[in-house]
Amino acid sequence: MNSPSSSVPPAGHGAIIAVVGCDGSGKSTLTGDLLAHLGKEHETELVYLGQGSGNILTWILGIPLIGKPLGRYLKNRSKKAHDKEDKASSQDATTALVMYLLSRWRNHKFKRMLKRSRSGATIIADRYPQAEVPGFYYDGTGLAITPETTGFVRWLAKRELRLYEKMASHLPDLLIRLNIDAETAHARKPDHKLAMLQDKVRVIPTLTFSGAHILDLDGTSPYAQVLEAALSAARTASGSAMTEGKTTIAGVVAVIGCDGTGKTTLTKDLLATLRKRGPTELRYMGLVSGETGDKIKALPVIGVALEAFLARKVRRAQDMKQKVPGLFSAIVMYLFSKWRVGMLRRLRRLAGTGVLVIADRFPQAEVPGFHYDGPGISAERTQNRLIQGLARREQLLYEQMALHRPSLVIRLMIDAETAHARKPDHPIEELRDKIAIMPRIGFNGAKICEIDARKPYDEVLAEALQAIEGVIAETRPGWGNGV
């Protein structure tokens, strides 16, 4: 097994688990079973990263008039491109172009896979590109430069090599290599040439995949053993990838809870008390506040009308049971979320100066809905593809924000009846909904202190200050001398 590479994968990404091996080693069966098992635990996708051109040819065949003859021609050229024994084919300009386009297609699939991984999905990749050994057989480059190579083909070959070098620089979190002997492979795949299988069996075990973490498994072992070992390693890789890049923002304490829990009062009193000891600031991390509304109202001419309009849009947006009313509303919601990204960036900079920061609310990516400080658009709320695209972009914003966890989350707990007695202008069903959802949010593994907000307020304040003492001790040594 190769040692893990020092290359750092994208922060907070879903794991990329690649399965490679000679034909007959059981790649297709294993990738299918990994998808079935891991898909029950979290979002998982299967991606074929071989050089297959089926999707392209299907599209070409559907072109009126020229589709079928062009498709047959390209299919024949593609077959030549994959034929290792047809050494002259790669020197033919037309075939070389087809080979290059196949590599471009693979690169397109690869980039799409990376995007899905960055959004948090676990990827099971059947095959994986490499830049060590040329040959489509081994998932490497198809074009080679020889003394007979023409200028055009040489130019294509150089561009193709850069594609593979770039793809190979993105290491999978785990690469499972199924090893097998040529005779067993041929018995399982009698329609494959034995010489070709022997060639693959000789080369594939020598590939390092740029230093990726490789699990070598014997493809001739009982399949149950192979699956068990692969699943164990895949689950470990998946867990590591999902925690990769998480950062605790030192000195940030977030206070969250349903309306009526006393968040605003508590955060202001924490600010007043802690400021007596050292530099402390309060930051509102929700999307709408009276202070924000007052600033908008103060704008000349349009201020009052704009504030009223935006308030209506936000109230409508917060109801996750209704559809997004339209593209313009979705754009407004997306801009609110971009605003929140900026607020979090400023909060991180402030905390970096040594200031203790009290955050009223905090963004999260686990539960959709502005009510819960999550993404507000949600692709499930619309059939409009433009709005769905905005929803995916917004979800990515929240996933990136959620990687930055506060040092402590103080969660104020309450029952709906008490909350409604304190906030009679709020619908009780809305309060019940928030109270049910809030305990489910883990803020990406942040440390959480739960306080019963129904207690006398002096006790709530004392408990909160005591919890913050731990944050001060860990992140602000010498900052104060005790409350």
Residue 393 pLDDT > 50: yes
Average pLDDT of the residues of the chain = 83
The pLDDT score that the predictor gives to residue 17 is 95
| 109 vs 125: CA distance, rounded Å | 11
Q: Which CA distances in Å does 5 have to 118, 163, 176, 448?
A: 19, 20, 15, 34
**SS3 helix, strand, coil % of the chain, rounded to 5?**
55, 15, 35
The pLDDT score that the predictor gives to residue 257 is 95
Of 367-371, 405-409, 434-438, the one with minimum mean pLDDT is: 367-371
Regarding predicted confidence, which is higher, 473 or 240? 473
DSSP assignment of 216-230, as one string? EEETTS-HHHHHHHH
Homologous superfamily assigned to 247-475: P-loop containing nucleotide triphosphate hydrolases (3.40.50.300)
| 63 vs 73: CA distance, rounded Å | 14
Does the fold of domain 247-475 match that of domain 16-243? yes
Structure-token pair, residue 405: 């966890």
Residue 71 pLDDT > 70: no
For the chain, percent of residues with pLDDT exceeding 70: 80
Residue 210 pLDDT > 90: no
What stretch of H or E contains 151? helix 151-168
The pLDDT score that the predictor gives to residue 47 is 94
Residue 464 pLDDT > 50: yes
Of 208-222, 282-296, 454-468, the one with minimum mean pLDDT is: 282-296
256 sits in the region (left: phi over 0; alpha: psi -120 to 50; else beta) called beta
By three-state DSSP, how is residue 232 classified?
Answer: helix
Residue 374 pLDDT > 60: yes
What is the pairing mode between strands 247-257 and 122-126?
Answer: unpaired
The pLDDT score that the predictor gives to residue 63 is 60
Mean pLDDT of 446-463: 96
Q: Where are the domains of the chain?
A: 16-243, 247-475
A 10 A CB-CB count for 461 gives 18
Amino acid at the residue 18:
A
The pLDDT score that the predictor gives to residue 333 is 85
Confidence band, pLDDT 50/70/90 cuts, at residue 421:
very high
Which of 316, 294, 291 is CA-nearest to residue 307? Answer: 294
**What is 16-243's CATH number, 3.40.50.300, 3.30.360.10, 3.20.20.70, 3.40.1110.10?**
3.40.50.300
Confidence band, pLDDT 50/70/90 cuts, at residue 353:
confident
Residue 321 pLDDT > 70: no
| 216 vs 147: CA distance, rounded Å | 38
Confidence band, pLDDT 50/70/90 cuts, at residue 62:
low
